[in-house]
Structure 1
Amino acid sequence: MSTVQQFRSDGHGSLARVGVAVCHGFTGSPVSMRGWSEYLAGQGYAVSLPLLAGHGTTWQDLSRTPWTHWYRDFEAAYLELAARCDTVFVAGLSMGGALALRVAALHPVAGIAVVNPGLTFSDKRAGYSGLLKHVLKSVPAIGDDIKKPGVTEGAYDRTPVAAVHELSKLFTDTISLLPRVTAPALVFRSTEDHVVPESSMDALRAGLGSPELEVVPLANSYHVATMDHDSPQIFAQSNEFFRRHCGAI
């Protein structure tokens, strides 16, 4: 895999100066967000979908990458859009949802649209990843939790334990910043998700500073819902949300 997976669109028409920074998830790649990004670009938005550090190569690369580098790469995509757009939204899947929320806590975004955002772990061992990483290099992959047959997000086949430890730091940091997120938030939540537990939604509801939080249930998708049966709903409703909050409708 290479950085050619990244996606960028300059935007056109009445939405040319409205940007959307889009973020993929942990151990994944822009493949999981490509369809959504292309749809938004087709609507006219300026779109930036970066490849995060340590992703799209090997899990060994990811094991050596601090979480601050993931954030740096997504923040850079946001800032690049902010420099050429009047209005910028953030969007993300899973860990990308956490990164989108962190950007929203620290920058003036117009709104947040996230899919199955991760803020907590379902595997209790994650809490010991700081110790486990010294004796266990990797565990079986968490990728491709997709209900639709024959679809793959191209995630790593192993999950590095050192990176799980970094992810836990990101989650802790983001949860602490949630009260600073005041932009409108749209959350798509699969009713059956084998990766992100419901406690992530509990943490989001408890901490979010925004007075506007809409949670949309997805009944026919697993974790990677952006590539699953409900993806057309995600694309259409996020577009309506962005248009509403940039004054286009």
Structure 2
Amino acid sequence: MPVLPGAEPYRHDGGDVGVLLCHGFTGSPQSLRPWAEYLAGHGLTVSLPLLPGHGTRWEDMQLTGWQDWYAEVDRELRALGERCARVFVFGLSMGGALALRLAARHGAAVSGIVVVNPAVRVHGAASYALPLARHFVRSARGLTDDIARPGHHELGYDRVPLQSAYSVRRFFRLVDGELPQVTQPLLLLRSTRDHVVPPADSARVLSRVSSTDVTETLLEQSYHVATLDHDADRIFEDSLAFIGRLAPSLGKEGTATGG
């Protein structure tokens, strides 16, 4: 199936500081494209891959699982590591869980992590129903487009394949067990009004990681897809400042301040 217009992966060759961005479950690179372009505009090398099964039609996703999605970002991280002296990993929603696992497993190869409304658990009755329901029901209503800003939309699936949702559930449990292995500096940005991921997920991340350099920022004007919402500029600017503080070469070039 052809990729939906706007859902294409994005890459930019910049300096020796690289950023890998991970989009969310049933979403696409479109939700992070402005963030990626902002970072590229400040001289960073940027990789924003399209996760397998995403960006086409929801039926394609049910043939994939967390192993496929994680393998894609793992490959991209290794490629950036060969190209760049320092690499940071960013993620939105499930992309936050992907970023955290990359940090847990790759250690010093990841210089820092920025996550926006990270999802690390499947909540409610769905968590208990998925193991059985996936054998009888193919899909459920989609999760995309939770945005407060008028006229802004997320490009993603309007249906969630339950087989893939079950895989997400298994992945989240795996990541939860690995959170104590995360030691890198962490910037977590959380919307105060999120209709997809509850604040308990961010609290879980903050309570279980072993990082000592941790910043939590509340986003007062945005819903779940904050990277396309009212607080997008703050996310972009704070993440660039985070990199500039940890990667001195970026500051010397003046790109941390846009100069």
TM-score normalised by length of structure 1: 0.96
> Which consecutive segments of 4 or more residues in structure 1 shift more than 2 A?
121-124
Return the alpha-carbon distance in structure 1 between the equivalents of residues 98 and 128 of structure 2.
20
Counterpart position of 2:254 = none
Return the alpha-carbon distance in structure 1 between the equivalents of residues 230 and 88 of structure 2.
24
Query: Any residues of structure 2 matched to 1:185-224 within 5 Å, and which?
Result: 185-224=186-225
Aligned pair 1:9/2:8, yes or no?
Answer: no
Kindly indicate whether the alpha-carbon contact (under 8 Å) linking 1:121 and 1:197 is maintained by their aligned counterparts in 2: no
Gaps of 5+ in 1: none
Return the alpha-carbon distance in structure 1 between the equivalents of residues 177 and 26 of structure 2.
24
Query: Any residues of structure 2 matched to 1:91-106 within 5 Å, and which?
Result: 91-106=90-105
Aligned residues: 245
TM-score normalised by length of structure 2: 0.92
Counterpart position of 1:231 = 232
Counterpart position of 1:134 = 135
Return the alpha-carbon distance in structure 2 between the equivalents of residues 151 and 186 of structure 1.
25
Counterpart position of 2:255 = none
Counterpart position of 2:65 = 66
Counterpart position of 1:154 = 155
Gaps of 5+ in 2: 252-259
Return the alpha-carbon distance in structure 2 between the equivalents of residues 183 and 52 of structure 1.
24
Counterpart position of 1:112 = 113
How far does the alpha carbon of each residue in 1:176-234 deviate from its partner, in whole angstroms, 9 at most, with x for none? 11111100000110000000112212221221011121110000000000000000000
SS in 1 for 2:160: strand
How far does the alpha carbon of each residue in 1:70-114 deviate from its partner, in whole angstroms, 9 at most, with x for none? 000111111110001000000010000000000000112000001
Return the alpha-carbon distance in structure 1 between the equivalents of residues 216 and 244 of structure 2.
18
SS in 2 for 1:5: coil
Counterpart position of 1:20 = 19
Q: Percent identity?
A: 45
SS in 1 for 2:155: coil
2:100 maps to a residue whose letter is L
